Structure 1
């Protein structure tokens, strides 16, 4: 009676929907049954079955001889051939199972939680989901069909590829221009050297010492110009290689014909991909070395009685003027929509927008420095040496190490965990000397290195072999911020509300490499903020209070 009453109380719409579902299922089962009957038709040759191809899905129930699967069951997560599919068609217990066309890697195409087909892509969580997921843990999220998600991401990757091709082309053009600049630098220096030779031939033995000092000044200018061009070229080549590698990964993803694999590989790549963006640059050459010739000619006439001081003092003053000398000029090409005043970062979240993952360069590490944790941690192991090969890049006297990555143009940020007394952290040029024991081979003793030191009680800033004592509380996690174009290098106390420890204002000529000097048995751990690095409860690592920002 109850069943009859329920049947009587059903609305016409419900009865039509139920009838439609039954008809749809009946049609599907009939189609499968017809396929099986056709395959069993004695009029059709069974012994001429085509050989299995590399893309064919095999039956999971065939043990002795693999057969081609006819259907896959999303309930059983198994693919069946014609013979093993029969229970699903004839046994009432299997009528609720969902049969689909043969699927390869059926487990990956099915939701692990609900055992349903992955038919949607959750844009919020960047993962494939089933219909049940949308009503539960992904409720309210924007979920689109798999095919639509793929089309959208393919368009995004195509745009990304186009941008990368343009960037790589611009970088390669810049590298070629740098190589031309190197020839021009050498030619210009050679011309000035000729003037020097001509003028000094006029003098007697008394001018030999002055001639030597003037030549040394010019050679320093030449070496600096060549080192600058070489440093920029090495940086651009490295970034080019990274961009090409990323481009190759993107091409590999786009070639994946499997929608699920494609989306999952894309999601994994999106999480791990580092920022390899590179602004377009214009390479020029500012060659005004003719001022050298004029100074030399004038001084020869006027300063014969003061040879030992005249040339050197005047040329040193000349080198300090930006209107003379020779150096490569680089201008960042910024899109019109970005050519606006960008505010200085104030909170830690602001700084993290410019974060750059770093790894230590094992080829530069001193023999007493051990690199661990995927080359993100360096430890002074004195007196135990590491089995590093002898390389020109390796520091021989000072226990220092550089990172593989470098900073050039734009803004950059990274954090280090400093432990132990005497730890130095800073930035330097790639051209820093690696073998000598003089102070200019250390990141504290030259004019192209900037660093801070923790001595166990307080911080000190070091530049050009000059120490500047700093006041402030003890800090272990230090944030380092670089605004290359603005000439700003600042160190912040991350654990104390991003308090400013020290700020340098300088003109950077070459790409900057993060550097560490460990004179004692200490270690420094490079962190990757925002990627698993969480602050302790009660700490102020995620503070949003304003802090002094570089002007």
Structure 2
């Protein structure tokens, strides 16, 4: 440090009192930083230029020359100065035992024989192939090298182990109380422990695999819970529509019976009026007949008897009651049967029993067989939701210009099949996918609600949605449906369904058939996939997004798979 201090005194600028930066030399032989001397002369208000050190005067402003040698020396000194003062150590770092206390560097190894830790510079003797330190064992830096590894009694290295007392010993301890215990060398005990540790490690690996399986089961269960919880929105919407339709049915029934009552009462009132008039006429006729029978005027009897005979006609018919009452009775019977069926369905359905009895940890009140039987009721409840979605049904067609060369399109652009390793002869268009097995549709959607259905032969397909700006060339993430931020895809592979977006997938629900319905609500940012079976919808997965471009239906067809657009 003394020589370093002497060198620094000779390398100081007399103006800034720091080590030279870009030193220059005046004709008098003195050296200054270029910025310092220029700043000094810039402050002079009269034309008298002097050396700041020796005060030698110059007739004109001198232009000092750069001192390259002095600059190199100053630069090397700065680097040496940086190396001489290491950065402060962190609490978790081990200091080098051979560095000065004022400039300790971080140790990278600890010697178990020297009982010291060394920085890279002081470690060099231990790294040589030959020498006094060549056989010294080295470990990662140890914090407790001088405390825990020394015998507290004799101050020597702990290099033996007593198995009976289970303690570490130094060489002197072995000849004391532990002499009869037959202590062993630490390396021998370590080898025996490593064998035990290897067995424990194997057991822990098995436990880890089992823990991973358990964790995966719980994760799948969690996904199922989230998935079925999302379907509550569909159920709530269906129940709300059923309530609305029952209210409409109630209003229609009340309106029908009221109208039928008014029409029938009007007819009956007219009929009663005619019957009353008919009754009065018959009574008058009876009186007239009675008068003629008691009359002695033979001419009058003969004359009026003919007219009274001719006035006899059919009575007003009461059969009109059959038409109205039979219609009302028929409607009443149909409504009674319908309402009784709905009431019994709700009372006896497994869904109602589930909602009332299966909260928390309560066991299910029905078996799997009961659920299959009761599911017939559920299908009826879902039929209304199915019809509601179907009103947004659209017809879509495959765009052959985007189809990969492995895909063959047929049946008016409604069927696509993967014929690999065979290829379809097609021009290399800019919009054609180079990613294997992909194709888009011609139709694009940018507002409103839409629904379409897809049927596949082999469960090795992907059904999704994409922006028109998706990459077409290359086989990177930017051109695979579902692997980027421009597309969404439900991949069906065997019994597994995965929902992909932006390169991340989540486990989706289970398909119960080979027909899949896709519902798009562009404005709400909803993309739903439904499994269709026996006229009912089962939500498989729902994407929630914010669409910023028009979207196109898109598909991936795996090897030997085929896909058909149903409408």
TM-score range, shorter chain: 0.3 to 0.5
> What's the TM-score once normalised by structure 1's chain length?
0.33
Q: Which has the higher contact order (CA 8 A, sep 6+)?
A: 1
Please tell me whether Structure 1 or Structure 2 has the larger radius of gyration of its CA atoms.
2
> What's the TM-score once normalised by structure 2's chain length?
0.32
